[in-house]
């Protein structure tokens, strides 16, 4: 069933890719971008916007993965601590199953 959860995500990716392609085609005006001393030659506006969005998504994913790794380590530490706090079960007694059954019913065999 896990494979079925991928289908909606894949369909969403296809739709977003189509919308992105339409955006690039409709915004084909050349734009020059300057950042400090670096200058990008004239490029389509849509391509620059999509590149900026994808770059932001990658940076956000990196920050999220650091947070997820931190939570994973904390979860493992807490699970280990919980397992150490659980009491160990008492060792089994040496009475047989037949003896226990007769004790509980109140009938003693002779």
Does 105 map to a domain? Answer: no
Does 100 map to a domain? Answer: no
Q: How far apart are CA 75 and CA 69, in angstroms?
A: 10
Does 32 map to a domain? Answer: yes
Does 95 map to a domain? Answer: no
pTM of this prediction exceeds 0.75: no
Q: Report, as an integer, the average pLDDT of 23-46.
A: 86
Domain count, the chain: 1
Does 93 map to a domain? Answer: no
Task: List the one residue out of 10, 45, 40, 51 whose CA is nearest residue 28.
Answer: 45
Does 109 map to a domain? Answer: no
Does 97 map to a domain? Answer: no
Quote the percentage of the chain above a pLDDT of 70: 82
Is there a contact between 53 and 45 (Cβ–Cβ < 8 Å)?
no
Which residue range(s) make up the domain with 53? 2-85
User: What is the pLDDT confidence band of residue 75, given thresholds at 50, 70 and 90?
Assistant: very high
**What integer pLDDT is reported at residue 102 of this predicted model?**
52
The DSSP secondary structure of 28-86, one letter per residue, reads --EEEEEETTEEEEEEEHHHHHHHHHHHHHHHHHHHHHHHHHHHHHHHHHHHHHHHHHS
Does 108 map to a domain? Answer: no
């Amino acid at each position: 069933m896990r494979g079925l959860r991928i289908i909606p995500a894949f369909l969403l990716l296809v739709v977003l890719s189509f919308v992105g392609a339409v955006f690039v085609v409709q915004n084909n005006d050349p734009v020059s971008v300057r950042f400090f001393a670096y200058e990008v030659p004239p490029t389509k506006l849509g391509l620059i916007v999509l590149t900026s969005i994808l770059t932001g998504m990658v940076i956000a994913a990196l920050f999220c993965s650091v947070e997820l790794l931190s939570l994973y380590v904390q979860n493992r530490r807490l699970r280990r601590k919980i397992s150490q706090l659980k009491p160990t079960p008492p060792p089994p007694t040496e009475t047989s199953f037949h003896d226990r059954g007769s004790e509980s019913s109140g009938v003693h065999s002779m």
